[in-house]
A and B are shown apart, each in its own frame.
Chain A
Amino acid sequence: MQIKVNEQDHTVGTNDSVGKVRDRLKADADLLIVNGFPATAETLLNDNDQVVLIRRGEIPDAEELDALLTARHTPGVHGIIKGSTIGIAGVGGLGSSIAIALARTGIGHLIIADFDVVEPSNLNRQQYFIDQIGLPKVYALRDSLKRINPHVRVTACHLRLTPHNLEEVFGHAQVLVEAFDLAEQKVMLIETFATRFPDRPIVTGSGMAGHGPANTVQTRQVANNLYLCGDGSTAAAPGTGLMAPRVGVAAHHQANAVLRLLLGEDPVNEGKV
């Protein structure tokens, strides 16, 4: 029968165990994963199984790394998303977390755009480090993304997005992620992109300030091709700050909505779009 081992095709005996395959192909592997889940050596294999054999602590070569990074993915997901291009407008609290989640997922190409630089007040919720203070956020984030997954192509645009440059920056994005801070900027981005590319989905964030219940943050379809993640109402304002937990909840709602859209699934309910 045919199986995949570290993304390569192999022929093995009917109902061979994972241990037998390991002994033949990578005897020093000490982490065995079958179809995205850790397995014991005794686990029996079936036709078309996807096996990943990992030697803990070993830095694999570039070709093998891509397979190993996604060993815990649901099978079939990686092939679809590594050919995808996603645009992220703004890489503050929402955008930096969304970019990291999508890079870990193995998105092929991320286009990130932001005019800002890393400041100490960002570190309470944004995915930057003290040694990155003063750097343009898009370059700091690009460096971090490359450390997580070198196979993700990152286009970093250090500029202020306007109705005039939006098409040039995000013309290749299949899905646009709105991750700005100001309401007026969110509206400008959505109006401009939706008018120019009405068939492409936009995933936006609105209402994630404070430390109210995480369960009030939801993903909703609010227009034909517009998905909104957040509680829809809690604004950043005097007395209501922005903090890592709730901003992170909204950011990961957005990242999951992107993933579901790429896989042809409805971001809000079970099932296809």
Chain B
Amino acid sequence: MEITFNGKPREIQAGISLQEFLDQMKLDCMQVVVEHNNNIIPRQRLAETVMQTGDTLEVIHFVGGG
């Protein structure tokens, strides 16, 4: 199924959760903010949130320093 990932169309496996997607992309959930269909999803809800066709996903990676 197709979703929009960081502004671009992307084919992903049907029925996978946000956590599974991050794992496949080798993204560390401790260092990314995940916005799913305009809502920021806290990390403890990543595993229970399953993606649907047409979803919009933004994954923002953070680096240290401040």
Contacts and interface: CB of A to CB of B under 8 A. Distances in A.
Interface of A: 90, 92-95, 179-184, 186-187, 190-192, 194-195, 198, 204-209, 222-224, 226, 228, 232-237, 242, 247
B42 A192 contact: yes
A205 to B, nearest CB: 6
B11 to A, nearest CB: 23
B63 A95 contact: no
Interface string B2-42: 00000000000000000000000000001111010011111
B35 A236 contact: no
Most buried by B among A180, A207, A223: A223
Given A222-B58, A228-B60, A205 B66 contact: yes
Given A181-B65, A187-B43, A223-B40, 5 more contacts: A190-B33, A191-B33, A207-B65, A224-B39, A242-B66
B25 to A, nearest CB: 16
Contacts of B62: 183, 186-187, 204, 206
Contacts of A235: 63-65
B66 A94 contact: yes
Contacts of B35: 223-224, 226
Contacts of B38: 223-224
B42 to A, nearest CB: 4
Contacts of B32: 187
Interface string B52-66: 000000101111111
Contact of B60 (A90, A92, A179, A223): A223
Contacts of A182: 64
Contacts of B61: 232
B5 to A, nearest CB: 13
Contact of B40 (A181, A183, A191): A191
Contacts of A233: 63
A160 to B, nearest CB: 15
9 contacts: A183-B31, A183-B64, A186-B62, A191-B33, A194-B40, A209-B65, A224-B40, A247-B65, A247-B66
A179 B64 CA distance: 10
Contacts of A209: 63-65
A226 B40 contact: yes
A183 B32 CA distance: 8
Given A183-B31, A223-B35, A224-B35, A190 B64 contact: no
Nearest to A180: B66
Contacts of A186: 62, 66
A183 B33 contact: no
Contact of A242 (B30, B39, B65): B65
A181 B62 CA distance: 11
Nearest to A95: B66
Nearest to B35: A223
A220 to B, nearest CB: 10
A130 B10 CA distance: 53
A184 B63 CA distance: 9
A91 B39 CA distance: 27
B33 A226 contact: yes
Contacts of B60: 222-223, 226, 228
